[in-house]
Structure 1
Amino acid sequence: MKRRSSSLLFIALCCLAPAVLGSLLHWSMLLWGFMSMVTASGSLLLVMTILSGARTPADPYGSGESEQPAEPTEQPYQETRVIDAALPSAAEGYEFLFSATVWWRPVSDHADRSDHASPALAASSVLSRALEVVQREQPDRASFARYLLEGELSVPLPDRSGRVTAQAADVTLTLAPADRERLRKLNDLRKDEEIWEYERQHERNKRRYLGDDVLKSAGSAVVWWLTRHEDEIEKAVNMIGPLAQISAAANDEEVPELFRHLLVPPVGARNGATVGGPQWGDADQGGGVFDREEEVGVSDRLLLLLTALGLKPDMDEYTVLVHRVVRDLEATGLGEAAKEIRRTLLLTPEGGSEEPEGWPSTEADATEPWASGFPAADGSPFTDAAAGTFTPEPAEDDDAS
């Protein structure tokens, strides 16, 4: 701005100088005007020449700026390989196998000091960065950890010493075949154990539901059965006895007196059939409830048959049939069964013999038809028609013999 004002002042003085000089020398107006124009043009050209010479010429391509010193040329990347390097995982005893292509180059400050240790420094730098990633991953997440490594190792970073810059490509991360098989088995076992645990919990819930709710009492058991068979009212009535037994067994209790007459077989059916016969239940229980879990013997089955036929121990027909069965069993070589029936179903009077009067001796030949000496009672149902070849002899003959 100051230079411009000085230039304008100089041009104005050059224009006024001819006018002042012409008025003093009494020039004509024409000469005075001509001289003013000449001095004005000359001063203007002079000022423009001076200003253009002082200004730096502009470079249209910007080459007028001072050029910066050229940076040194960077070294090209070099390649090295890392193959199956073992890296620990988050699980003890399981290691990842890491492989990659390492690209490295010397840092610019150490470009002139490149030596044979640079590839090792680059590989060490990549392995250290990979270790920070995989040591937090489970061994069964090898595929997922590989993608994390590709992103982490694709950025070139200097090593700890600052001598080389390294990055990795073509990253692979796997487990040893034995570890993969071991993990597969453990995974299958874990899943099977989860299923088994759910099944066991389901079974416990069912037992709790049946024991604490359904079988809490005979009434609740009947209601539960009826809800599942809403249209079978008559069958529900027949199920009251069995459900009462099941409910009592589930609670380790006796069957309530209210339901004992509905049991199958009824309470006392066997105890009332004989005096001194086998007990169907525990003597401490008082009711003599039939124990369904106890194995039924030969004498028990025969007693059921006799009871179904309406025969009682004080009847002659009862004794005759039992003795005949005993003899038949002995004749066929089933002595143990015969002894069991004789011991449990035959009454032995004190000081007397088990066998009725006139019965053939047990020492007789088992192959002989012993039925010829079998005593028969009047009105016995075991006649010739009922017993096949059995024909009782008159009592007089027995006495005569």
Structure 2
Amino acid sequence: MRHRFTGLLFVALCGLAPALVGSLQHWSPWLWGFMSMVTVSGSLLLVMAFAGNGREPAGTDEPVEPEPAAPPEQPYAETRVSEAPLPSARDGYDFLFSATVWWRAAPDHADWSGSVSPALAVSSVVNRASSVVRHEDPARASFARYLLEGELGFPFTDRSGRVECTVADVTLTLASEDSERLRKLNNLRKDEEVWEHERQYERSKRRYLGDDVLKSTGSAVVWWLARHEEEIEKAVDMIGPLAQVAAAAQDQEVPDLFRHLLVPPVGAHDEATDEFVREEQVSVSERLLLLMEAADLKPDTDGYTVLVHRVMRTLQANGREDAADEIRRRFLLPYDDESDAPSYTAASPSENDVERDWGSPETDDSASAYYWDTPHSPHPPEDPDS
């Protein structure tokens, strides 16, 4: 009580001192009032601090009970998990889990010791790892490994609470065959996606061309002109081809309005085809007759007969007996009896004869009875030796 009175007296004196000094020095009332508040506050804090330091703590005489000593912490034992199969999100593709397992008895079972403690630790680790990766894609084994490291890196107890475990050196892989299958399937899936997009693009393009661009000749011309705005004259030349394309796209005939613009004109292909067929049907004798007419060789001239005989012998020499016989019947049998006609089967040309006929211009073809008959006589020439 005395200490409290002394403290209050000290505070009061400290508060009155600025007022006394201020009145003597003629301070403004605001100034000495502010100084009084400051000294009162400071003195009060000093009194409170002095009172707190001088008070003795209660109960210092009571004896302090010592805290019980914590039991010594048991060391971890080590065991190994090697390529334990863990299910993944895809059937038939298991992860292969390997890790180093550190285990010890839980604090509540420190006095419990059993030979099955490593098995409990491994079982707990495998079950916990399985619950983590069973929903992961096997193609993402590396990602799943990081999840396992984060989940199994902190100590945990098994379901019975008897073993405390922690895991290190985690590896998570796939069998090499499964990895190869997944790689192939992944490539096929990507190729199929690209192919499907290409098909969709082709369908869209066909719809655009068939239902819009080539819907009619006019729309085709407008489409072409939109792409070639400066080529008006060429657009006119393209009307015919575009009309054909538009008609083909719609499985229709070209409208009569544009048939005269087709390239080639209607019927030109048929005429060319007919001409080719007619040329194929012309026989050898007709072709030789056309050659005679083009060369202006008359049937009553020596050149006419010489050319017919040479063509016959050439065909016979090349094994074309049918063609040679056709020419003989056409040009050399103007007789009623074929037995009177000259035969040239045995008169095949020798090398000297061919050289004389084709290589020597000085040879007088009219002097050889083996190369032609006189066309003016209906009978073969007489043998010069008779």
TM-score w.r.t. structure 1 length? 0.55
Deviation of 1:97 after TM superposition, in Å, equals 0.3
SS class of match (1:170):
strand
Task: Please say if 1:327 is aligned against 2:283.
Answer: yes
Preserved contact between residue 285 and residue 327 of structure 2 (Cα < 8 Å): no
SS class of match (1:146):
helix
Q: Matches of residues 201-220 of structure 1 in structure 2 within 5 Å?
A: 201-220=200-219
Match of 1:68 in 2: 67
Match of 1:301 in 2: 276
Preserved contact between residue 284 and residue 323 of structure 2 (Cα < 8 Å): no
Preserved contact between residue 330 and residue 366 of structure 1 (Cα < 8 Å): no
Preserved contact between residue 156 and residue 165 of structure 2 (Cα < 8 Å): yes
Match of 1:20 in 2: none
Counterparts of 1:83 and 1:330, CA distance in 2: 95
Encode CA deviations 1:42-71: one digit per residue, 9 max, x unaligned.
Answer: xxxxxxxxxx9x97559xxxxx63112222
Encode CA deviations 1:14-46: one digit per residue, 9 max, x unaligned.
Answer: xxxxxxxxxxxxxxxxxxxxxxxxxxxxxxxxx
Counterparts of 2:198 and 2:258, CA distance in 1: 35
Change (3 A) 1:143 1:235: same
Preserved contact between residue 331 and residue 366 of structure 1 (Cα < 8 Å): no
Q: Matches of residues 256-335 of structure 1 in structure 2 within 5 Å?
A: 256-268=255-267, 280=270, 297=273, 299-301=274-276, 326-328=282-284
Match of 2:326 in 1: 366
Encode CA deviations 1:54-103: one digit per residue, 9 max, x unaligned.
Answer: 97559xxxxx6311222222211111110000000011111000001101
Encode CA deviations 1:124-175: one digit per residue, 9 max, x unaligned.
Answer: 1111110111001010111111111001001111111111111111111111
Deviation of 1:185 after TM superposition, in Å, equals 0.4
In percent, how many aligned pairs have the same letter?
64
Deviation of 1:240 after TM superposition, in Å, equals 1.0
Match of 2:153 in 1: 154
Structure 2 letter corresponding to 1:262: L
Match of 1:96 in 2: 95
Q: Matches of residues 2-401 of structure 1 in structure 2 within 5 Å?
A: 56=60, 65-268=64-267, 280=270, 297=273, 299-301=274-276, 326-328=282-284, 365-368=325-328
SS class of match (2:266):
coil
Deviation of 1:228 after TM superposition, in Å, equals 2.4
Match of 1:380 in 2: none
Match of 2:25 in 1: none
Give the stretch that moved more between structures: 109-118 or 120-129. 109-118
Structure 1 letter corresponding to 2:147: L
SS class of match (1:82):
strand
Deviation of 1:111 after TM superposition, in Å, equals 2.2
Change (3 A) 1:257 1:116: same
Deviation of 1:266 after TM superposition, in Å, equals 2.6
Change (3 A) 1:364 1:98: closer
Structure 2 letter corresponding to 1:244: A
Give the stretch that moved more between structures: 257-266 or 131-140. 257-266
Change (3 A) 1:211 1:129: same
Structure 2 letter corresponding to 1:98: F
Counterparts of 2:285 and 2:103, CA distance in 1: 103
SS class of match (2:142):
helix
Counterparts of 1:268 and 1:178, CA distance in 2: 66
Match of 2:294 in 1: none
SS class of match (1:253):
coil
Counterparts of 2:332 and 2:261, CA distance in 1: 45
SS class of match (1:112):
coil
Preserved contact between residue 84 and residue 99 of structure 1 (Cα < 8 Å): yes
Structure 1 letter corresponding to 2:137: Q
Structure 1 letter corresponding to 2:276: R
Structure 2 letter corresponding to 1:239: M
Gaps of 5+ in 2: 2-55, 289-321, 334-374, 379-386
Structure 2 letter corresponding to 1:327: S
RMSD: 3.3
Encode CA deviations 1:317-358: one digit per residue, 9 max, x unaligned.
Answer: xxxxx79x71238879xxxxxxxxxxxxxxxxxxxxxxxxxx
Counterparts of 2:130 and 2:285, CA distance in 1: 87
Counterparts of 1:226 and 1:371, CA distance in 2: 64
Change (3 A) 1:364 1:143: closer
Counterparts of 2:324 and 2:220, CA distance in 1: 59
Structure 1 letter corresponding to 2:214: L
Change (3 A) 1:165 1:56: same
Preserved contact between residue 331 and residue 367 of structure 1 (Cα < 8 Å): no
TM-score w.r.t. structure 2 length? 0.57
Change (3 A) 1:369 1:177: same
Structure 2 letter corresponding to 1:177: S
Counterparts of 2:332 and 2:237, CA distance in 1: 48
